[in-house]
Amino acid sequence: MTSKTVFITGASSGIGAEAVRIFAEKGWNVAATMRRVTPGLFGDLPNVRVFTLDVTDFDAVDQVAKATIRAFGRIDVVVNNAGYAQYGPLELTSMEQIEAQYRTNVFGVMKVMKAFIPHFRENGGGTFVNVASLSARIAFPVFGVYSSSKWAVAGISEAMNIELAPFGIRVRTVLPGTHASNIFTKMDPAKEGDASVYAPYVRNFLSAHKDGVVNHPSRAAQTIYDAATSDAWVFERTAGRDASFLLTMRRWLSTRQWYRMQVNGLLRPPSPSSLRFLSWVTRGTARVETVSDPRLEGQVST
């Protein structure tokens, strides 16, 4: 029996790298793509081939898609995992940052899908797994631009799952919670204006998430594998206990209750009991230290 093949973007570390290993260990051929290739990466996995790809280079997306199809003959699953997080108040976020966020997180996903839809259609089927975020269903302050980009990913995924159904093509979405990934350690802080007016509120909000125990990226990677291989009619899957918990909380709380809870997170730092509760919710297995920006981290408001 011929092994199936998966194409994965953003595979150099974190969730993408774990996904490469899970698929490879399950006997799949893997086209692992990333912006910068580390020599010897995945050298212990003979069924993995590494390709250089920046998803914001749309010509390169077409070229690499064709190259992987030539190399493997057929691609069965495409995992759109590449992305990064921009954070900070909208007022302080430059338009260049907003455009860059969308070019990677949204336009890159759309371009990769466009590159492989004809191949899937000609083969009578295929599966796209688009990695969005818990932020695609719950928008958080300070991460408004990032959240909006992930809402866009969820939106195009849902539409394409219907639009492409006549061709046997499935689209699945994964919503990870907080995972130990470079997306959190290499965040792009807002760069314009006077940050001091927002500093205490940003600091209060980030203090609930900084240096915390979070989900290991293998959790999200396993969810990606399940989404790609399961015959169950499940369009959208959460990854991480925190994602499931917060989505359930959002459904149960009234709009006013949810709003007040979020605003309180800006007005005052979390209490020790709140931090313990957050750790319990996540029950994480890895630690993450988020990026810090001195301009946005002033005196804590109490």
Q: Which helix (H) or strand (E) segment is 115 a member of? A: helix 108-123
For residues 22 and 222, give the distance between their C-alpha atoms in angstroms, rounded to a whole number.
Answer: 7
Buried b / exposed e over 134-172, threshold 16 CB at 10 Å, is bbbbbebbbbbbbbbbbbbbbebbeebbeebeeeebbbb
116: helix, coil or strand? helix
> Strand (E) positions, 35-186?
48-52, 77-80, 86-87, 126-131, 169-176
- How many Å is the maximal CA-CA distance in the chain? 63
- Asked about 146 being catalytic, the answer comes back as yes
> Strand (E) positions, 248-300?
286-287
Computed from CA positions of residues 162, 166, 169, 170, in that sequence, does the dihedral angle turn out positive or negative? Answer: positive
Q: What letter does residue 232 receive in the DSSP assignment?
A: S
Which of 87, 146, 201, 225 does the annotation list as catalytic? 146
Question: In the numeric block, which tokens belong to residue 101?
Answer: 């966020």
For residues 189 and 142, give the distance between their C-alpha atoms in angstroms, rounded to a whole number.
Answer: 10
For residue 122, what are the contacts with CB-CB under 8 A and spacing of at least 6? none
Closest CA to 87 of 173, 178, 206: 206
Active-site annotation, residues: 146
